[in-house]
Amino acid sequence: MVKAPRRKVLEQPLPAHGILYFDHLNAELKSKPSETFKPETQAVIDDLLKKRHEQQDTLTWNDLYTFDLILSRLLTPERLAREVWSLRSRYRDVAGLREYEAYLASKPPDPAGQVEEKALRADIEYLTGEIYLRYAMTPVNQMVSDSISKRVTIVILVGVVIIVLSVFLNQLITSKGKEIEVSLTLLNVLFVGAMGGLLSMQQRYHSVSREGDPIDNVSEMLQGWPRLFLPVISGGLFATLLYMLIIGGLLEGDLFPKLTKTASPDGVKFSKLLDYGKPISSSDYAKLIIWSFLAGFAERFVPDTLSGFISKRETEGRSSS
């Protein structure tokens, strides 16, 4: 299970661009008359400025949000409409078009119309809160995504090491002239099919829209990431089934690999099946690898192929009757 980010990680300091934006807000703050601040507000401002100049590594997105919120409450009525337009543009960029359209569907106050000042200020505070929530959650989202990608990479590397060791052992046994030969065809089919399924799921995982509730998105990533490895099993099984379909002659043609075949009056053992079911040339081996990968990557390919056989058999049964 992917562990939730620790508190220390969640409270990581502002990046350089966050510090730059803090200084930009501070420059705007200096233009405000000092008498506009209430004592409690001034105390918060002094604490934030102390962090910036004496302990800048402790400033967080929450501190920047607090600073921005204080400034938004000091806006003059003449600047409210322009601030709303600016925040709506930023919200559309960070939340995505779908969330922004849902926001517009809620009929927020129209800055160009006759709107009460308190309605515009409420909209400004709402947009500011939504924007900074996504600013703060983005690093957490990325950390979880990187953790999952790292685990996927480890799985792939372990599989590659297993294949390399198998090839090495096979060459070692053969070089010593022993009659025992390790058949790697099925092992390669299983591995490539599993990697096809894994890469397919990883692609879909990273292409999932991050729109919506950012906290819920991270929660789903933390709780649902083990599903990422289920296609490893199904990909290996589908590649094996495809391998058997090709050995059985159910899938033939120039696009499919040609495998060695034999017949025996006493029947063929499963171990011999794997020995005989080998590609007859390097190009056929390459085709087998490609089809094994596709069997895992396109998860509906093998099930649809089997369904096609069933439908064809049912159609022939009805026509013969």
Give tens-digit pLDDT for 38-73. 788 888 888 998 888 877 678 888 889 999 999 898
User: Which of 162, 161, 138, 143 has its CA nearest to residue 17?
Assistant: 138
Q: Residue 89: its pLDDT value, please?
A: 92
* Sign of torsion over alpha carbons 144, 148, 153, 154: positive
What is the pLDDT of the chain when averaged over all its residues? 79
For residues 204-214, give the mean pLDDT. Answer: 59
Question: pLDDT (tens digit, 9 = 90+) per residue, 221-274?
Answer: 555 556 666 778 888 899 989 998 888 888 888 889 988 877 666 677 766 776
Q: Residue 60: its pLDDT value, please?
A: 87
CA-atom Rg of the chain in angstroms: 31
Question: pLDDT (tens digit, 9 = 90+) per residue, 105-156?
Answer: 999 998 887 888 899 999 999 999 988 888 887 777 777 777 777 777 777 7
pTM (2 d.p.): 0.59
Q: Find out whether 284 and 224 touch, Cβ atoms under 8 Å.
A: no
**Which residue spans within the chain are E strands per DSSP?**
none
